[in-house]
């Protein structure tokens, strides 16, 4: 990799992660291909510096990776699941050792705060821990047969190659959510990370290769292919990839889902969110403020679970609005590696332009911009990716409100009457990822969680929309894609289900009493 010396500390971090003198964008483990595709330049949104240039994978490298993955699967699927779990345990331990430098690289390459970068690596550690226990619990069911002297059960087998397409905003955690579970299930993984964050992907592959080499895991169980959309398209259309897990925009997810569906493959889609918090008259406002502000400006509004809409009862609307406007005046924006700052940059200049265009559309539709975000310039903002956050009074039906803007743009609106009216507003968008209600009224909270309540995959009470625990299944409904990752029984998507019937009698009874006389 042709690296640029940023400063002594960042150079040391890259070296500690094994990122030094390569410019290759494809690996099946310890082996790195001499890739010949177009160059991908990784610029930090923190300071605008070129961190590195990586040559992307080509169609030839993709084909080689698929063949290597198929070979590896024949070996990996025969390894007992608890032994696969032990290897994932070692990966979790290795991530603990690399937590600080990897978290700092995530922060520098993507732009989220250092604490959030550390938190993302901690999510990787947590899912490894979860997967270790799960490796001994890939349970099927024993069933009762209607035929005498017969036994039935169902069991789960690995699928084969799992394709992973990840987004820039969580450049390492989402990969690990998929791989930790897929690997203990017996699958092999091919990862196409966002071309906006190639270095974090290379770092993860190098860390994984260390563990796999120590355990004689074959090449092809973990593969990374760095490149553009063409790699995702190839993966989505490839019958040799039975499952494609894709995280990103709804537009991208629809294309992936359509391609995979045409070949009757399986897709796990984690797409856009348009997440709302309902604030009722009984809400504890001491809880509301940190929940809303972090949800709206954490990761600079670039989380799929970021708070986009605030639905406030009219009786407390003015009070909540004024508290928020005052809180936004106190948000400190700057280098995310400096813990004094609450908010870092957007990912790139295109994201900044999209954000500013969204604010203009709010005004054009009649919205009242209470806190208007601006592109920041001057000392500390040289990258051109820094903005200040926005709050706008809107109506839920505005076209721009119905659309997810991946930036720190918070919409606030009133509701009147009972909580059902607020829930109706919340549900009246195309997306269905995360939702939240702040209330001390048990009837309101239970209504929100009922079948006629929130239509989202995640519904929280007295906490914000942003983030999720490893132990729960993560994902959403409607245009969020319907996928589930991480905890609960999300592991089942990485396996194929098989029903078995065993006849241990000396006769062969046929269905529906049919008899053949021979």
- CB 439 within 8 Å of CB 412: no
Strands (E), 433-513: 434-438, 458-461, 473-474, 477-478, 485-486, 495-503
Burial level of 507, CB count in 10 A (0-12/13-18/19+)? exposed
CA gap 408, 477 in Å, rounded? 23
Residue whose C-alpha is closest to residue 3's, from 72, 69, 64, 53: 53
Q: Which residues contact 289 (CB under 8 A, 6 or more apart)?
A: 323, 324, 327
The residues that bridge with 387 in the sheet, in sequence order, are: 375
- CB 181 within 8 Å of CB 162: no
CA gap 99, 197 in Å, rounded? 17
Residue whose C-alpha is closest to residue 161's, from 261, 235, 260, 89: 235
The residues that bridge with 496 in the sheet, in sequence order, are: 157
The residues that bridge with 143 in the sheet, in sequence order, are: 152
How large is the angle between the packed helices 198-214 and 173-185, nearest 10 degrees? 30
Q: Which residues contact 38 (CB under 8 A, 6 or more apart)?
A: 55, 56, 227, 228
**Residue 129, Cβ neighbours under 10 Å: how many?**
16
Q: Which two three-digit tokens encode residue 324?
A: 């928020």
- CB 457 within 8 Å of CB 284: no
Between the CA of residue 144 and those of 137, 150, 152, 510, 513, what are the distances in Å?
Answer: 21, 8, 6, 17, 18
Q: Which two three-digit tokens encode residue 132?
A: 């270790």
Q: Which residue has the tokens 């309902």?
A: 278
Q: Which residues are catalytic?
A: 270, 304
Between the CA of residue 479 and those of 109, 252, 253, 271, what are the distances in Å?
Answer: 29, 11, 9, 7
Instruction: Give 353-398 as a DSSP string.
Output: HHHHHHHHHHHHTT-EEEE---B--STT-TTS--B--EEEE--TT-
**Residue 500, Cβ neighbours under 10 Å: how many?**
11
**Residue 237, Cβ neighbours under 10 Å: how many?**
15
Q: Which residues contact 43 (CB under 8 A, 6 or more apart)?
A: 49, 50, 51, 348, 383
């Amino acid at each position: 990799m042709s690296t640029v010396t940023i400063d002594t500390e960042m150079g040391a971090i890259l070296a500690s992660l094994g990122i030094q003198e390569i410019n290759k964008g494809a690996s099946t483990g310890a082996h790195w291909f001499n890739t010949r595709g177009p160059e991908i330049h990784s610029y930090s949104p923190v300071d605008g510096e070129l961190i590195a240039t990586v040559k992307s994978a080509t169609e030839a490298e993709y084909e080689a990776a698929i063949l290597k993955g198929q070979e590896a699967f024949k070996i990996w699927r025969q390894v007992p699941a608890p032994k696969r779990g032990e290897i994932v345990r070692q990966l979790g331990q290795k991530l603990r050792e690399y937590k600080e430098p990897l978290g700092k690289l995530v922060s520098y390459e993507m732009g989220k705060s250092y604490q959030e970068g550390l938190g993302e690596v901690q999510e990787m550690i947590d899912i490894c821990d979860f997967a270790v226990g799960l490796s001994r619990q890939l349970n099927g069911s024993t069933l009762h047969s209607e035929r005498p002297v017969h036994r039935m059960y169902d069991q789960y087998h690995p699928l084969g190659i799992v394709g992973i397409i990840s987004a820039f905003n969580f450049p390492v955690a989402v990969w690990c959510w998929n791989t930790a579970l897929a690997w203990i299930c017996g699958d092999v993984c091919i990862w196409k990370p966002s071309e906006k964050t190639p270095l974090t992907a290379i770092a993860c592959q190098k860390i994984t290769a260390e563990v796999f080499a120590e355990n004689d895991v074959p090449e092809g169980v973990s593969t990374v292919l760095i490149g553009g959309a063409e790699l995702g398209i190839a993966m989505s259309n490839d019958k040799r990839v039975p499952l494609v897990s894709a995280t990103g925009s709804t537009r991208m997810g629809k294309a992936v889902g359509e391609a995979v569906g045409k070949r009757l493959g399986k897709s796990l889609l984690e797409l856009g969110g348009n997440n709302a918090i309902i604030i009722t008259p009984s809400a504890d406002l001491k809880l509301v403020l940190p929940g809303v502000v972090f949800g709206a400006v954490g990761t600079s509004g670039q989380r799929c679970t970021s708070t986009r809409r605030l639905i406030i009862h009219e009786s407390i609307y003015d009070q909540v609005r004024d508290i928020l406007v005052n809180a936004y005046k106190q948000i400190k924006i700057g280098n995310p590696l400096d813990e004094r700052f609450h908010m870092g940059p957007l990912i790139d200049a295109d994201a900044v332009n999209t954000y500013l265009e969204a604010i203009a559309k709010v005004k054009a539709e009649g919205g009242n911009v209470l806190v208007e975000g601006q592109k920041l310039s001057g000392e500390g903002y040289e990258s051109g990716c820094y903005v200040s956050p926005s709050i706008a009074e809107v109506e839920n039906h505005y076209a721009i409100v119905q659309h997810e803007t991946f930036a720190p743009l918070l919409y606030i609106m009133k509701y009147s009457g009972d909580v059902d009216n607020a829930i109706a507003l919340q549900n009246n968008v195309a997306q269905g990822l995360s939702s939240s209600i702040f209330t001390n009224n048990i009837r309101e909270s239970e209504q929100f969680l009922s079948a006629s309540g929130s239509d989202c995959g995640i519904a929280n009470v007295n906490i914000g929309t942003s983030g999720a625990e490893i132990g729960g299944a993560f994902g959403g409904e409607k245009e969020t894609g319907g996928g589930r990752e991480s905890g609960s029984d999300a592991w089942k998507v990485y396996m194929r289900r098989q029903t078995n019937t065993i006849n241990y009698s000396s006769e062969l009874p046929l269905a529906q009493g049919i008899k053949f006389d021979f």
